[in-house]
């Protein structure tokens, strides 16, 4: 069965501090992993996807198949990063996408 686990419901850091949002998954095939973000009063939107290996707004995430993890990292948090972050997994073939419970990131001035 597919499962995505985000162990932290809330993460609070100071501006300029490093931040890491954890995501672990369970899936027997070859998954696609994504991070989505929801800013206040906005739609849920894609932040980044593992196959692109890109850095978006200073965030990066590496897929670790051995540890079945896809943690989101940023070296220096900004106040505008405060939002709800969801880790998502799409199954092989791309039909079904499930999400974790989400982590609310709060960056303090």
Partner 1 sequence: DVKVTQSSRYLVKRTGEKVFLECVQDMDHENMFWYRQDPGLGLRLIYFSYDVKMKEKGDIPEGYSVSREKKERFSLILESASTNQTSMYLCASRFTGTGGEAFFGQGTRLTVV
Does 31 participate in binding partner 1 (rule CB under 8 A)? no
Does 49 participate in binding partner 1 (rule CB under 8 A)? yes
Does 96 participate in binding partner 1 (rule CB under 8 A)? yes
Does 66 participate in binding partner 1 (rule CB under 8 A)? no
- Rounded CA gap, 59 and 73, in Å? 6
Does 65 participate in binding partner 1 (rule CB under 8 A)? no
Chain residues in the site for partner 1 (CB under 8 A): 6, 9, 32, 34, 36, 43-46, 49, 51-52, 86, 88, 93-102
């Amino acid at each position: 069965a597919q499962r995505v686990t985000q162990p932290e419901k809330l993460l609070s850091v100071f501006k300029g501090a490093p931040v890491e949002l954890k995501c672990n998954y369970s899936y027997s095939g070859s998954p696609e992993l994504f991070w989505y973000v929801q800013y206040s009063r906005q739609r849920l939107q894609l932040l980044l996807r593992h196959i692109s290996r890109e850095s978006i707004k200073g965030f990066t995430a590496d897929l670790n198949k051995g540890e079945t993890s896809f943690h989101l990292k940023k070296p220096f948090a900004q106040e505008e990063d405060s939002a709800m972050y969801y880790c998502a997994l799409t199954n092989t073939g791309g039909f079904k996408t499930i999400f974790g419970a989400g982590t609310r990131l709060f960056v303090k001035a």
